[in-house]
Amino acid sequence: MTTRRILVADDNQQIRLLVGAALRSLGHEIVQAVDGEDALQKAISERPDLVLLDVTMPKLDGFEVLRFLHKQPETANVKVIMLTTAAQQDDLKHGADLGCDEYLTKPFDPKALRVVVEKVLAELES
């Protein structure tokens, strides 16, 4: 298995720690961002293979971050999973319209998260 760099962007430290622990067990490198602006800066500087984005973050929300990532040449092809409490049908549609690869809602099962992350990362191999 290839080690991948994953950016976890969430303003809740407990969520970042839980996601990080779940994904480190798969051997991946985890980078954390505390808000939308931090997520953009780290996406550009760290060049992650995958970004997990919360929708409701300070400074820039996850949808704004996703929109920006897909407009920039250096991050246009990064895989994105929305991991959020924003679970209304409109939220899911908005995420899909902006090009997120998967949409998971909180609370989440760490095993289910690992399955979805591995599925999305496998798409990088093909």
Query: C-alpha distances in angstroms, 29 versus 51, 61, 77, 98, 111?
Result: 12, 24, 19, 26, 18
Q: Look at residue 68 in the predicted model and tell me its pLDDT.
A: 94
pLDDT reading at 115 higher than 80? yes
In this structure, are residues 77 and 70 in contact, taking their beta carbons and an 8 Å threshold?
Answer: no
- C-alpha span between 33 and 43 (Å, rounded): 9
**5-125 carries CATH number 3.30.110.40:** no
Predicted structure pTM score: 0.93
Q: What is the pLDDT of residue 85?
A: 82
Angle between helices 62-71 and 36-46 (to 10 degrees): 30
pLDDT at 95 > cutoff 90: no
- Show me where the domains of the chain are located: 5-125
Residue 125: exposed, middle, or buried by beta-carbon count in 10 A (0-12, 13-18, 19+)?
exposed
63, 55 Cβ separation under 8 angstroms: yes
- If you average pLDDT over residues 105-122, what whole number do you get? 94
